[in-house]
Amino acid sequence: MASTTETSLQSRASHGLRLDTALAEQVLVRFIADAISKFGFTRAVVATSGGIDSALTCALAARALGPKNVLALMLPYRTSNPASRGDAETLVEALGVESHVIDVSQAVDGYLDELDDLTTPVRRGNVMSRTRMIATYDQSEAFDALVVGTSNKTELLLGYGTLHGDMASAVNPIGDLYKTQVRQLASALDVPAAILDKPPSADLWHGQSDEDELGFTYESADEVLHLLVDEWHTPDEIVAGGYDADLVTEIRRRVQQTQFKRRPPVIAKLSDRTIDRDFRYPRDWGR
């Protein structure tokens, strides 16, 4: 067999990530309508940050359920970038979805003020994320809706999210789309340009940037993840194909180290039928 050349592996990776946006939209819109309605609901709540992931989720949900059945929930903290809020409002206007703003500063600070130790940015960020989760689930009850999640495949595989925080949802339409595919689909769905073009940020502290924090760009991460996960390449093959060895090692390490975040809590087995191990019923049981 001929060996894979550098150009062919890299071009194959970028080609493989190229999305048929019309087809993906069709599947995902139907998925949301099905997943919401089969549990007796007609509405969705999306925690909307002003970033591209929640913007795409909102746009898909609005198409699936009708804009009036989608609540875009804006949950700013006092240090949040005001531009984020502005972008979220632009999105709400463009989509015609319902919206609601709840400032989480008091809830977050009320907890943080109880702590004696000086919390780290990561701990503070996690508290914000989980406080937003509480607000989102509470509002889903008030709006008689299910929470539609906004974690993409890149974040999920890298474990770059807060467990029981932004990772919490009832249904997730974009969890099998890499970040660069989220961009393609968001662009096709006319998500406002300001949201498409800005650098990705969790906006948990001033000036935070996903790519600075991760130490690599989403473009390169997506190509390496696509080759590792979808194409079953070994790390050695990917390095031989022209990718930076440290990058490949780091991505592979992150995927392995954060596997627990993608699984339900582990249950100690005692009986003959343990939930999710040998008590195996589909979520859509009877639906």
Residues within window 136-195 making contact with other proteins, judged by CB under 8 A: 171, 181
- Which residue among 11, 26, 249, 274 contacts other proteins (CB under 8 A)? 26
Max distance between CA atoms of the chain, in angstroms, equals 64
- Strand order across the 43-47 sheet: 98-101, 70-74, 43-47, 145-147
What dihedral angle (degrees, nearest 10) is formed by the CA atoms of 171, 47, 59, 41? 50
Does the footprint of other proteins cover residue 23 (CB under 8 A)?
A: yes
Cβ at position 13, least distance to other proteins in Å: 10
CA distances (Å), origin 110, targets 114, 128, 162, 234: 7, 11, 20, 48
> Could you tell me if 141 and 117 are in contact, meaning their C-beta atoms sit under 8 angstroms apart?
no
Site for other proteins in 55-114 (CB under 8 A): none
CA distance 133 to 128: 9
Min dist CB 224 to other proteins, Å, is 15
Beta strands per DSSP E along 124-260: 145-147
Closer residue to other proteins (CB): 12 or 100: 12
Choose between 85 and 226: whose C-beta lies nearer to other proteins: 226
Q: How far apart are CA 240 and CA 66, in angstroms?
A: 48
Choices 34-42, 121-129, 146-154, 205-213 (CB under 8 A): range interacting with other proteins = 34-42
Q: CB 281 → other proteins: shortest distance, Å?
A: 6
- Subset of 245-284 contacting other proteins (CB under 8 A): 279-284
Q: How far is the CB of 88 from other proteins (least distance, A)?
A: 27
Helices (H) and strands (E) in the chain, counts: 13, 4
Kindly tell me which residue out of 93, 144, 212, 230 binds other proteins, with binding defined by CB under 8 A: 230
- Residue 73 host element (H or E): strand 70-74
Convert 38-59 to b/e letters by CB count within 10 Å (16 or more is b): eeebebbbbbbbbbbbbbbbbb
Number of residues that bind other proteins (CB under 8 A): 28
Q: Is 15 in the site for other proteins (CB under 8 A)?
A: yes
- From 14-22, 43-51, 66-74, 84-92, span contacting other proteins (CB under 8 A): 14-22
User: Does residue number 2 form part of the binding site for other proteins (CB under 8 A)?
Assistant: no
- Minimum distance between the CB of residue 249 and other proteins, rounded to whole angstroms? 25
Q: Give residues in contact with other proteins (CB under 8 A).
A: 15-20, 22-24, 26-27, 30-31, 34-35, 38, 171, 181, 230, 279-287
